Amino acid sequence: MEFDPAFALSILPDLLRGAVVTIMATLGGFAVALLGGLVLALARRTRAAPLAVSYTEFIRNTPLLVQVYFVFYVLPFLGVTLGAMTSGIVALGLNYSAYVAEVYRAGIDSVPAGQWEAARSLGLAPRTIWARVLLPQAMRPILPVLGNYAIGMFKDTPLLATITIPEMFNSAMQIAGTTYRYNEPYTLVALLFLAMSYPAALLVRVLERRLHPPA
């Protein structure tokens, strides 16, 4: 089947509307991942560490697609009913929180122990030490890694098409299913993902060079 530029141009608005949904799902899911990852990283330094470790290992060793299905199709049987978009954001966020937690943990471990001891010697409360001393220093080296995870989540959003979220890949599937033309919608989706993710990857590289200049 040949590629028809005129047909591709006619379906582009539908795909761009799907791209907006894709970006919204990525931003929402990553916000959940940042918060959930921080909670997990801090929990590993408390008596709740076994629970946090168990959650992290379970999430990291089960497929994201299964987790998406569980949140959308299984939770209603347990009395928790979420909309498709909310389910997708929650599933993405919970999945990536397990990975982000390890990033936070590495950043916190990179802060010299003397920083904690110096802050305690000044009489600062533990909450103040975390908020004003440790976390600001831990965030600097992990920002590029978090940026890479955000790009990874963006590329994982096509899985949300399986729970009827009208993101970009879902829009392409609907167009292909009604027109029986597959080259144009799927090619455009690939190009749109590339057009949005590649500049973000370049931005992450620039950020990494600024935060870690060569010796």
- Segment 137-163 shows an average pLDDT of 89
The pLDDT tens digits of the residues spanning 38-77 come to: 999 989 888 899 999 999 999 999 999 999 999 999 999 9
Task: Name the DSSP letter for residue 48.
Answer: T
Domain 5-211 matching CATH 3.40.640.10: the answer reads no
Share of the chain above pLDDT 90, in %: 61
Task: Classify burial at 23, counting beta carbons within 10 Å of its beta carbon; exposed 0-12, middle 13-18, buried 19 or more.
Answer: middle
Q: Quote the CA–CA distance of 91 and 85 in Å, as a whole number.
A: 10
Local confidence band at 1 (pLDDT 50, 70, 90 cut-offs): low
Is the entire prediction scored with pTM above 0.75? yes
Q: Which residue has the tokens 């028809």?
A: 4
**Strand, coil or helix: what is 91?**
helix
The alpha carbon dihedral of 202, 207, 212, 215 has a sign of: positive
**In the predicted structure, residue 123 carries a pLDDT above the cut 90:** no
Q: Which of 64-73, 90-99, 124-133, 164-173 is least confident?
A: 124-133
Ramachandran bin of 82, using left for φ above 0, alpha for ψ from -120 to 50, beta for the remaining angles:
beta
Return d(Cα 169, Cα 22) in angstroms, integer: 9
Q: Amino acid identity of 104?
A: Y
How sure is the predictor about 214, in pLDDT bands with cuts at 50, 70 and 90? Answer: low
CA distance 45 to 50: 10
User: Mean pLDDT, the chain, as a whole number?
Assistant: 89
pLDDT bracket for residue 117 (50, 70, 90): confident
Closest CA to 155 of 12, 14, 66, 25: 25
For residue 80, the one-letter residue type is V
Q: What is the total residue count of the chain? A: 215
Closest to 96 (Cα-Cα) out of 166, 154, 179, 22: 154
Distance CA 8, CA 4 (A): 6
Work out the pLDDT band at 137, boundaries 50, 70, 90: confident
pLDDT > 90? residue 85: yes
Mean pLDDT calculated for residue range 122-146: 82
